[in-house]
Amino acid sequence: MKRKKIVVGGVGGFIGGHLVSDLIKQGHSDIRAVDIKPAGEWYQRFPDVENLQLDLRDKSDCERALDGAAIVYNLAADMGGMGFIENNRALCMLSVLINTHLLMAAKKFGVERFFYASSACVYAAEKQVSEDVVPLKESDAYPAMPEDGYGWEKLFSERMCRHFREDFGVVARIARYHNVYGPHGTYDGGREKAPAAICRKVIQAKLGGKHELEIWGDGRQTRSFMYIDDCLKGTQAILASDIIEPINLGSSEVVTINGLVDIVEGIAGIKLKRSYNLKAPKGVNGRNSDNTLIKKYLGWEPSISLRHGLEKTYAWIHDEMAKAAGVEVD
């Protein structure tokens, strides 16, 4: 396995960069890293692998990316946090071209295993109307009414994986990610997700001396957040498994957005005056991962605590912001 060519799409992003780093640590020696962004803009860069700047929405670029590949991880998508996906639905939908053309190339070149990163945004909106959340089971994706734009693209691409497996024998595996976070990712600019955004806002308040913080929504929305190390372990285990249906990959530790702020304030050693922007994108009222199936199939579920993961995430974002502001860091 360690001598087979592995292709990671979306390596310039947060999860893709961490995945390649982990594969290198495991001793994999034939890795092709692909992203639409120039390598200089990747969150993590890897001089000892084959780095390609390609547009995976393009069929010919997908064929170039997968020629000779045995294992494919499709983590590429035009996406971000709620502030991005609620205002860029067409861009999110266009990511359907990435998975479609990658599957076509996987069929053409006889790829052995194909992983698709789906999302909890596929789940029906009517299942997520209350903060008193009932954990989402895989079957809750149907009858379908996912997040508009991004969620529909993910659900459609799940079906595409299924039919390429059924009709053409492409061995596809699908994980529905629930809010992955950690260092070496977006924390500003509009594409960041809640943990990184809250860390950034708390750090800005601490460094700037203005002890105020704006929260999108009323702060009572409930979520679960999965630390990147759990995501990497689960992703690789699902790819290697016999699980043919889409499966949740997320923490079952549920927290309100107010609770998330409490944790970050505790890490920072600061207490801020909160204001609530009820007009800002806030997503569904409640979402959590039902991990019954992943525990059944793998005997495992994500278990890294939110506090532990946020400590590492906060430290990295703090150092990045301090350096950008010309503040000396230890």
Q: Tokens 């995976």 appear where?
A: 56
Task: Look at strands 222-224 and 254-256 and give their pairing.
Answer: antiparallel
Task: Look at strands 31-35 and 6-9 and give their pairing.
Answer: parallel
Is the backbone of residue 299 left (phi > 0), alpha (psi -120 to 50) or beta?
left
Cis preceding linkage at 135, omega within 30: no
- SS3 letters for 50-69? EEEECCCCCHHHHHHHHCCC
Our CA angle for 234, 219, 129, nearest 5°, is 70
Is the backbone of residue 189 left (phi > 0), alpha (psi -120 to 50) or beta?
left
Catalytic residue among 43, 116, 150, 314: 150
Residues 138 and 80 sit within 8 Å (Cβ to Cβ)? no
Residues 303-319 as b/e (b if ≥16 CB within 10 A, e otherwise) read ebebeebbebbbebbbe
C-alpha 192/C-alpha 181 separation (Å) is 10
Whether 187 sits among the annotated catalytic residues: the reply is: no
The residues annotated as belonging to the active site are 150
